[in-house]
Structure formats: C-alpha cells, structure tokens
Amino acid sequence: MNVSMRKILLSISLGLFLSSAAQALPQVRIIATGGTIAGVGQSATGSNYQAGEVGVNSLIVAVPEIKQLADIQGEQLVKIGSQDMNDKVWLALAKRINILLADKDVDGIVITHGTDTLEETAYFLNLTVKSDKPVVLVGAMRPSTAMSADGPMNLYNAVATAANLESKGRGVLVVMNDMVLNARDVTKTNTTGVHTFAAPNFGPLGVIHNSKIEYMGKTERQHTTQTPFDVSKLDKLPQVGIVYNYANASDLPAKAMVEAGFDGIVSAGVGNGNMYQSIFDTLAKASQKGVLVVRSSRVPTGATTLDAEIDDAKYGFVASGNLNPQKSRILLMLSLTQSKDPQQIQSWFQQF
C-alpha cells in the first residue's frame, strides 16, 4: 500500500472517529420560559431589569462550553417573568417535555425559568413528567447583562447535570449555585441572593465541581413515572387557593374562595398548621360541602402532622406533611383531577 493511500485511509478513519465521538454526546434539549436568566438591565451594576428578553438561542451562544457536554437544541416556550407563571404554561410545558422524552434519542431536558416560582414549576413537573430521564430547571438571580451574572455558570451546570447518567431516575432536579436540589424539597430562601435556593429540611442531593456532579442522596418520595397524574388530555386544572393565617386574621379571603366555587383550599397555618378560629370555622363548613381542605404551615421547616391540635379525620382535612403551602396547592390540584376522597388524597401527600 503506497503512502498516499495510507494517508487517505488514515484521514477517513480519523473522520469516522471524530464523527462517532460527536454522536456519542448526550442529546439535551433546552426549553426556555424567560425569567431573570434571560433578563436585560440598563446597567451592569443596577437592580432594574426586564425579565425574559433574551431568547433561547442567545442563551446557548453565550455559553459555548455547553456544546462540549451535549448535543444541544433549544426552543422557546414563552418569555415571561415567573411571577406570571400559570396553569396553561405548566400544562403546555409538561406535555412538551413528555413528547420530547418519548424520543429515544433525547437524553435529558433543561428548562430555563424565573426564580420566583421555579420551585412550583419543578414540583408540578415532578408529579407529571412520565419519564425517568433527567429534567433540570435552572435560573439566575442576576440578569444576563449584570456584572458577574450567575446565569451562564448555572446553565452550564444544568446541562452537565442533564447529560449525566447518574441523574436518571432522581425525579425533577433544580440546579443553582453549584448545587443539585430535589424538586419536592427545594425552596427560595432569599429575595435577592445567589445562594437563595436550598432544601431546608433535607439538604441538597448533590454538589457540582468543574462540571462533575457528586450525588450524596436520592429522594425516597415517589415521583414522575410513579404518580397517577396524567395531564396529556387536560386543558385546565382545578381551582385551588391559599389562605394565610396570622394574629387577628380575617376570614374574608376564605369565604370569598368558598363563594367563588373553589375546588380546594390550602391553609397556610401558624405553627403545626393551626388556623385562626374564624378561618377554621369557615374551612370546616366548606369541607362538609365538598371543598377539599389541606392544612399546611407558613413555618419554613418541619412538618404539618396529622391530628395534632386539629382532628383532621373529624373535619375531613388533609395534613400536608413537609410540603409548603405553594407545593401543597400543586399536589391538591393534581389530586383533584383523580379523586375527591380526603383519605386517598392524604395518602398521596404521604407518597409524593
């Protein structure tokens, strides 16, 4: 074989090797919804900005290193600040994710999201995604134009997490500030700090160093493929509100929700889910008329336990366990698509 032929064969072999290496990268899809991570400010140091201005393709271009981690494709679902997140977007997002993950070639999903309600979207997806492939939510506390913006590194870490085989089967994840957090337990703890996301009751599932994820735990709660909640044919969710308790509280919000025909009400109680007397009276009567009532707590850690100062079985109430009020609302909404039996719903609060 002459030298020229050897060079040609070597070039072909090298090309095939490089092509195979490129194909070996995991396929990760990025779904953008807006938020601070896509925000644009008037100054690099100011706090004034407009959320959701940067499109998904620009977010991807701004972090070219992610293409070393995965084969990336992006799509824009909506462009909103997450204070405006709603049931319509949740349902569209869950349906789109389930379609994408049904494709055998797609290995994981990253969702860019505002931080205000990121924990709620994460938990909703934790209950409605029907795949064990990684789904990772990510956001930022500083807009893309800020000095030392946190979004690019958060996005890089989120893609690394979605592309990691060890992320499979762990439920929906949140990646922020070099931590991997479980959708059920994560919550926003600070209004402006980059360290805002934490899991106060149980801590993070893992930490990230140099794009390497070190998992330290796995959630014991059932999620994703293990739940009975199928949203594929839903175009709306049951109406569920939250009533806040405090000293000398008014029962007017609770009465208004009952009169408006709400399907369920979550009480953000004091202490172990206790209620101001007039709110308790209103919700006890509502429960007798078929309104599902969940007792949760405004206290950031601990659990709302069954039959403490309130006899839940007597009044038909459900105790939220360690779910906060906003996540209790999500589980109650989805539960009501399947059942109106307080005992059945109580069992789901203990499972999910």
| Known binding positions | 82, 115-116
Q: Of 171, 181, 172, 169, which Cα lies nearest the Cα of 213?
A: 181
36 is catalytic: yes
191 is catalytic: no
Q: How far apart are CA 350 and CA 233, in angstroms?
A: 26
Which residues belong to the annotated binding site for substrate? 82, 115-116
315: left (phi over 0), alpha (psi -120 to 50) or beta: alpha
Helices (H), 183-276: 252-259
346: phi then psi, degrees, rounded to nearest 5: -60, -40
- Residue of 33, 112, 115, 227 marked active site: 115
The neighbour count for residue 289, using CB atoms within 10 Å, is: 7
Q: Of 194, 184, 190, which Cα lies nearest the Cα of 303?
A: 184
SS3 239: coil
Distances (CA, A) of 266 to 64, 158, 229, 326: 44, 32, 19, 8
Q: Of 260, 259, 279, which Cα lies nearest the Cα of 269?
A: 279
Catalytic machinery residues = 36, 115
